[in-house]
Amino acid sequence: MEIERKWLVRPEEIPYNLDTLPALEIEQAYVSFSPVVRIRRINRGERHILTVKRPTEYGGLANDEGEKEIDAELYAFLLSNASGNVIRKTRYLHALPGGLTEEIDVFSGAQQGLAYLEIEFPDVESAERYPSPAWVRADVTHDVRYKNSSLAQDGMPT
């Protein structure tokens, strides 16, 4: 199960020098929106991942998720059959005390200017208790407009 909180941030207000953080270049597309079947190409083909997600009773906070590495040929085939917009983003990783990691996604392409902070948690209780960082704009954990699948299907939120 994936348990995470998501916050909307302004790229210019991120309190870290992103150039000093480990980063992943991510391209992702959706083969299906219901159920959510996502494909990702990481670091221009270093890895290819197929993910299936199902919602849980916790809404946007937790999803049942299964991932499998796939090869470049299968990724290309699935990408040619994907629906909606392809999402491109750079994910910066910032380690926090206690073993948590902030994942800061800065989007490019059709979502240029959009940025999120996501943190995955070991359990729902920890996620619910975690205070919003002072530098974020809004908690969008339960706002479906800010799910990556919604960005792919519907475009940028208004």
Answer yes or no: is pLDDT of 57 > 90.
no
Q: What does the alpha-carbon distance between residue 64 and residue 72 come to, in Å, rounded to a whole number?
A: 25
Yes or no: say if 63 and 51 are a contact pair by the CB < 8 Å rule: no
How far is residue 2's CA from residue 72's CA, in Å, rounded to a whole number? 25
Q: State the Cα–Cα distance between residues 1 and 125, nearest whole angstrom.
A: 14
- pLDDT of 155 reads 92
Is residue 91 pLDDT above 90, yes or no?
yes
- Residues 47 and 27: their CA atoms lie apart, in Å, by 11
The predicted model gives 46-70 an average pLDDT of: 91
The confidence score (pLDDT) of residue 59 equals 79
Q: What CA–CA distance (Å, rounded) separates 36 from 14?
A: 30
What's the pTM value of the predicted model, to 2 decimals? 0.93
Instruction: Reply yes or no on whether the pLDDT at 10 is more than 90.
Output: yes
User: Residue 123 carries which DSSP code?
Assistant: S
Domains and CATH numbers, the chain: 2-154 (2.40.320.10)
Taking Cα atoms as reference points, which of 81, 68, 67 lies closest to residue 31? 81
